[in-house]
Chain A
Amino acid sequence: MTPLDPPNPPLTRKDFTSDQEVRWCPGCGDYAILAAVQRMLPELGVRRENTVFISGIGCSSRFPYYMNTYGFHTIHGRAPAVATGLKLANPQLDVWLITGDGDGLSIGGNHLIHVLRRNLNLQIILFNNRIYGLTKGQYSPTSLLGKRSPSSPMGSVDNPIAPAAFALGCGARFVARGVDTDAKNLINTLKRAHEFQGTGFVEVFQNCPVFNDGAFDHFTAKDVAAQQQLHLEHGKPMRFGDGKGLRLRPGSLDIEVVTVGENEVTEADLLVHDETNRSQAFLLANLDPPTFPVAVGVLFCSDENLVPFEVGTHEQNKQARARGLGDLNALMRKGHTWKVDADHGDEAG
């Protein structure tokens, strides 16, 4: 993909804001994510006409209506498939796929698997609020066990899925996490996803103030965030909170929390984040409070350079068309054909 020249003069956040009234509930985490994206795009130097937001169904999937770019609000769960066709038809487009925990992991789980393993060059932002919002509060595939909701009045017995671990299992090559209200880190993470040549998958913990308020407070609230979040940086030791860190429990493949300076633990014992290590990313994707901090930032960024699906497809097209577009008239006359002349017709008649 040849990068287009950045717009001149540079665009502002306002240029990416559509004239449509935003209709999310007051206090919804979606507002913060929308603002972060609208702030980030001018910094990326991308063009509005080349940018497409594609979504499925759900609260988060209203997102494209609020972006002054191209946008397609499709049907429930199918945004990855629509985006795949869009990229195949025009690989030059810069595509952002907006989905949620229900849209992406329940009804659209199959398509999410395949867009991730095919490594199409696009970005996926999965808004995870652990609840169905637009249908009024039923439990979702990321709702925790015991979650009481209109469809699980006695508490959910439906074992939840971890989106980042799911993505890694699908063969995703870029997996990251952010928090709706942490704009600075979210923007940096989204930029990394955009830079990645392949599918950039970003799970955003997003608060639903109406049906699942405070679902992530135990690690996102101001007073606990530092203690309960591990901000990953490639090549840096995994430190969080007051002198705490992560290390591999000696003789195992398990991670444990340690305190530097206690029990002879030194900085050198801590795990160093290697974002190109898929196994380590798996461990990080499955860390849960209260025992562990929640890992945010870039969990995994493959250095294997798998050719994105649409790029590979177009390379084949190019190969097939090396001698120009085929002549259909000639094609239909290849192989076993025969001619009937006028004489023969008369003769047989």
Chain B
Amino acid sequence: MDTFASTNSTSQRELIESVVIRFAGDSGDGMQLTGSQFSDTTALMGNDLSTLPDFPAEIRAPAGTTFGVSGFQVHFAAHDIMTPGDAPDVLVAMNPAALKVNLRDLKPGGLLVVNTGAFTAGNLKKAGYDKNPLDDSSLDGYRLLKIDITKHTLQSVESFGLGNKEAVRAKNMWTLGLMMWMFGRERESTAEWLRGKFAKNPAVADANIAALNAGHVYGETAEMPQGIHAYEVPKAKLQEGHYRNVTGNEATAWGLLAGGKLAGLELMLGSYPITPASTILHYLSNLRAYGITTFQAEDEIAAVCAAIGASYAGALGITTTSGPGLALKTEAIGLAVTTELPLIIVDVQRGGPSTGLPTKTEQSDLLFAIYGRNGDCPLVVLAASTPGDCFTMAIEAVRLATKYMTPVILLTDGFLANSAEPWKIPDISSFEPFPVKQRTDPVGFHPFLRDPQTLARNWAIPGTPGLEHRIGGLEKSYDSGNISYDPDNHHKMVKVRAAKVAGVAEDVPLQAIDQGEDSGDLLVVGWGSTFGAISSAVLGARKAGLKVSHAHIRYMHPMPKNLGEVLRRFKHVLVPEMNNGMLVKILRSDFLIDARGLNKIAGQPFKIAEIEAEIRGLLASS
């Protein structure tokens, strides 16, 4: 578009390899939106990126307070990156509370953009400042860019006849415009998005676009303080292909649909709204054309029970939840284990215990997912390691659940759920289909007849003549499927259910070394969303000459059959986890090795430096 033609003039731009920006403001300031628009544009411009949205559990916490601060961090680069960045190079603080909460993370000498218009006596007091930090020397260690963004925004939208409240609300677009100038981003895709979002109210769309442009013009024309200017981050080298940004929850939703297609099954999602899993329910409710029925149940228990009912009827039942919801579902999951019905449970982990930290990330449901049911109650547990990997692992969940007639828990977490990364869009036709065959032959039938290879029982569904049968939570006879209280039979059935799930290990990829040699001084073993931070930390340590490797586990139960062997080839094993030590406990008990934990339970992902420091410390002291 002509109007945006000057955006990419690079004549005076300083070339940089990567940058981390954090947008921070009130939860009503539209920071998530600003950040995601910046990220979308950045992806379109060919950079690699990773994002970290961080918002409070309250929808609109009281304005101006520190607990109402919402942040969105985006890391983008001219090279391959895997984390949202340890510390921001640029902090945009829309009010004093945002400054107060986020300043400690800003790199020394980092660029600090503040909206002076929000630094009123009232806001300063709410944020806990005795005096205005913009007026003293407390920010001397940073490059400070003070702009009355509120005033500039109001001027830029004056002609559109908006009320004051609506006019002020456009300040996030003004700020976005300024940052787009600073980092040479195109504005057109945001303008297009605004036109779509406010299609019914074009004046609001136009006003926001005007604010966006005004912020950009301000950057171009205003005289900037010493040391503040425009930058260029060249395109990253990405593998050839068709890309988009994807979050973990989007990728999970699409992966489930892809799995259903590959299995040739209709899907039925039973779900109850819970943070941070709800968006999977939202996405899938919009995608009923793609072979899924969605049901918002009255509670978590009903959600999983409806999924079980659907699987009994011959569809594939799915339920999506987070920790407290998984707790409520445990009895029903046990029913699916003992009736040997396929079922997918997606647990988007969040800070616990109890209600815990609903909007923050954690990996503390691992032991619960593997062991947390009454009785000997084995099932398959998988974990996705990146937003894009949620797609692949959701397909794996469908494949294993239907092939082995077993519930599968897919673990993701709040970070994966909301974080976006450029994703090479897969071609569904490149996946091997795994069509499901339901039983129709009445000859020799009983409901717990097993496939000799997989030990999976045959799936006979209501509506099939001649296969009428009863199943339930009571123990079943191995030989007939009828109720049995026979002691030896129970022993046998517990063993056979365990053997069936253990046998899945024969059907999953061997554990690979993701980076480094297959033996050495130290193996860093991770699972889930820590992939990026561990990978980057190991890369750093290896550049410094340390004999470190990285292995990331995606099949949590059963684990790949060569895992013990892989672990034993290293002198030390370090297990960074966002919990109080869960995978490390399993590795120690299953493989009798002296694995050590590195635990961060802060509701925030690991920083690369935290893991790298531990690697160096461990190798220095050994």
Closest to A335 in B: B244
Task: Name the distance in Å between A244's Cβ and chain B's nearest Cβ.
Answer: 42
Closest to B313 in A: A89
Chain B residues, CB < 8 A from A339: 241-243
Residue B6 at the chain A interface, CB threshold 8 Å: no
Is B470 in contact with A85, judged by CB distance below 8 angstroms?
no
Is B462 in contact with A70, judged by CB distance below 8 angstroms?
yes
Task: Name the distance in Å between A101's Cβ and chain B's nearest Cβ.
Answer: 20
Partner of A337, one of B240, B244, B309: B244
State A338–B289 Cα separation when bound (angstroms).
25
- B182-199 interface code vs A (CB 8 A; 1 in, 0 out): 000000010000000000
Which of A271-321 touch B at CB < 8 Å?
313-314, 316-317, 320-321
Is A82 in contact with B308, judged by CB distance below 8 angstroms?
yes
Pick out which of these stretches binds chain A: B202-210, B215-223, B425-433.
Answer: B425-433
Residue A48 at the chain B interface, CB threshold 8 Å: yes
Closest to B44 in A: A338
Task: Name the distance in Å between A117's Cβ and chain B's nearest Cβ.
Answer: 9
Residue B71 at the chain A interface, CB threshold 8 Å: no
Partner of A49, one of B334, B467, B471: B467
* Given A84-B306, A340-B46, residue A90 in contact with residue B463 (CB < 8 A): yes
Indicate the size class of the contact surface on chain A. 35 or more
Pick out which of these stretches binds chain B: A107-115, A154-162, A230-238, A252-260.
Answer: A107-115
State A86–B335 Cα separation when bound (angstroms).
15
Partner of A348, one of B237, B254, B301, B474: B237
Partner of B305, one of A50, A85, A333: A85
Closest to A117 in B: B298
Chain B residues, CB < 8 A from A47: 465
Chain A residues, CB < 8 A from B473: 57, 73-75
Which of B518-561 touch A at CB < 8 Å?
none
Residue B314 at the chain A interface, CB threshold 8 Å: yes
Count B interface residues, CB 8 Å. Answer: 76
Is B254 in contact with A328, judged by CB distance below 8 angstroms?
yes
* Given A325-B290, A348-B237, residue A84 in contact with residue B309 (CB < 8 A): yes
Is B293 in contact with A93, judged by CB distance below 8 angstroms?
no
* Given A73-B472, A74-B335, A75-B335, residue A85 in contact with residue B291 (CB < 8 A): no
State A118–B339 Cα separation when bound (angstroms).
27
Is A84 in contact with B302, judged by CB distance below 8 angstroms?
yes
* Given A113-B298, A313-B293, residue A345 in contact with residue B240 (CB < 8 A): yes
Is B306 in contact with A82, judged by CB distance below 8 angstroms?
yes
Is B462 in contact with A84, judged by CB distance below 8 angstroms?
no
Residue B307 at the chain A interface, CB threshold 8 Å: yes
Which of B408-444 touch A at CB < 8 Å?
425-429
Q: How many CB-defined contacts (below 8 Å) exist between A and B?
A: 218
State A282–B467 Cα separation when bound (angstroms).
43
State A78–B239 Cα separation when bound (angstroms).
50
Residue B594 at the chain A interface, CB threshold 8 Å: no
Residue A2 at the chain B interface, CB threshold 8 Å: no
Is B468 in contact with A336, judged by CB distance below 8 angstroms?
no
Chain A residues, CB < 8 A from B463: 49-50, 90, 92-93
State A65–B234 Cα separation when bound (angstroms).
69
Task: Name the distance in Å between A81's Cβ and chain B's nearest Cβ.
Answer: 3
Which of B330-370 touch A at CB < 8 Å?
331-332, 334-335, 339
- B366-406 interface code vs A (CB 8 A; 1 in, 0 out): 00000000000000000000000000000000000000000
Task: Name the distance in Å between B128's Cβ and chain A's nearest Cβ.
Answer: 40
State A8–B154 Cα separation when bound (angstroms).
79
Chain B residues, CB < 8 A from A332: 244, 254, 425-426
* Given A71-B470, A329-B428, A336-B40, residue A86 in contact with residue B243 (CB < 8 A): no
Is A84 in contact with B295, judged by CB distance below 8 angstroms?
yes
Is B240 in contact with A341, judged by CB distance below 8 angstroms?
yes
Chain A residues, CB < 8 A from B171: none
State A54–B312 Cα separation when bound (angstroms).
11
Residue A32 at the chain B interface, CB threshold 8 Å: no
Is B470 in contact with A64, judged by CB distance below 8 angstroms?
yes
Residue A326 at the chain B interface, CB threshold 8 Å: yes
Residue A342 at the chain B interface, CB threshold 8 Å: yes
Closest to A82 in B: B309
* Given A85-B295, A85-B308, A348-B234, residue A114 in contact with residue B302 (CB < 8 A): yes
Task: Name the distance in Å between A124's Cβ and chain B's nearest Cβ.
Answer: 15
State A47–B462 Cα separation when bound (angstroms).
11
Chain B residues, CB < 8 A from A336: 40, 43-44, 189, 244-245
Chain A residues, CB < 8 A from B52: none
- A168-204 interface code vs B (CB 8 A; 1 in, 0 out): 0000000000000000000000000000000000000
Is B288 in contact with A72, judged by CB distance below 8 angstroms?
no
Closest to A329 in B: B428
State A292–B392 Cα separation when bound (angstroms).
65
Is A321 in contact with B288, judged by CB distance below 8 angstroms?
yes
Residue A222 at the chain B interface, CB threshold 8 Å: no
State A68–B467 Cα separation when bound (angstroms).
10
Is A88 in contact with B305, judged by CB distance below 8 angstroms?
no
Is A340 in contact with B238, judged by CB distance below 8 angstroms?
yes
State A328–B254 Cα separation when bound (angstroms).
8
Chain A residues, CB < 8 A from B464: 49
State A60–B320 Cα separation when bound (angstroms).
32
Task: Name the distance in Å between A94's Cβ and chain B's nearest Cβ.
Answer: 9
Chain A residues, CB < 8 A from B310: 85-86, 88-89
Closest to B425 in A: A332
State A47–B298 Cα separation when bound (angstroms).
32
Partner of A85, one of B243, B317, B462, B474: B317
Task: Name the distance in Å between B480's Cβ and chain A's nearest Cβ.
Answer: 10
Is B301 in contact with A78, judged by CB distance below 8 angstroms?
yes
Is B298 in contact with A49, judged by CB distance below 8 angstroms?
no
* Given A48-B468, A328-B428, A332-B254, residue A86 in contact with residue B46 (CB < 8 A): no
Residue A18 at the chain B interface, CB threshold 8 Å: yes
Is A111 in contact with B314, judged by CB distance below 8 angstroms?
no
State A342–B239 Cα separation when bound (angstroms).
8
Chain A residues, CB < 8 A from B241: 339-340
Is A78 in contact with B471, judged by CB distance below 8 angstroms?
no
State A204–B393 Cα separation when bound (angstroms).
48
State A71–B78 Cα separation when bound (angstroms).
60
Is A86 in contact with B240, judged by CB distance below 8 angstroms?
no
Which of A218-265 touch B at CB < 8 Å?
none
Is B298 in contact with A110, judged by CB distance below 8 angstroms?
yes
Residue A52 at the chain B interface, CB threshold 8 Å: yes
Chain A residues, CB < 8 A from B468: 48-49, 68-70
Is A64 in contact with B289, judged by CB distance below 8 angstroms?
no
Task: Name the distance in Å between B441's Cβ and chain A's nearest Cβ.
Answer: 14
State A69–B463 Cα separation when bound (angstroms).
10
- B444-483 interface code vs A (CB 8 A; 1 in, 0 out): 0000000000000000011111111111111000000011
* Given A84-B306, A340-B243, residue A73 in contact with residue B235 (CB < 8 A): no
Chain B residues, CB < 8 A from A68: 468
Is A85 in contact with B289, judged by CB distance below 8 angstroms?
no
Chain A residues, CB < 8 A from B245: 336
Task: Name the distance in Å between A317's Cβ and chain B's nearest Cβ.
Answer: 5
Is A86 in contact with B313, judged by CB distance below 8 angstroms?
yes
Is A73 in contact with B240, judged by CB distance below 8 angstroms?
no
Is A88 in contact with B240, judged by CB distance below 8 angstroms?
no
Is B470 in contact with A65, judged by CB distance below 8 angstroms?
yes
Is B258 in contact with A328, judged by CB distance below 8 angstroms?
yes
Is B483 in contact with A20, judged by CB distance below 8 angstroms?
yes
Task: Name the distance in Å between B387's Cβ and chain A's nearest Cβ.
Answer: 13
Residue A164 at the chain B interface, CB threshold 8 Å: no
Residue B112 at the chain A interface, CB threshold 8 Å: no
Which of B266-321 touch A at CB < 8 Å?
266, 268, 270, 287-291, 293, 295, 297-299, 301-303, 305-315, 317
Given A90-B462, A340-B238, 12 new contacts (CB under 8 A): A49-B462, A57-B473, A84-B309, A86-B309, A89-B317, A90-B461, A93-B463, A316-B288, A317-B293, A332-B426, A336-B40, A336-B245
A-B contact pairs, 8 of them (CB 8 A): A49-B463, A72-B312, A73-B472, A84-B295, A89-B309, A317-B288, A338-B44, A348-B78
9 closest Cβ pairs, A-B complex: A73-B472, A85-B309, A85-B306, A81-B305, A89-B313, A71-B470, A81-B302, A348-B237, A82-B309
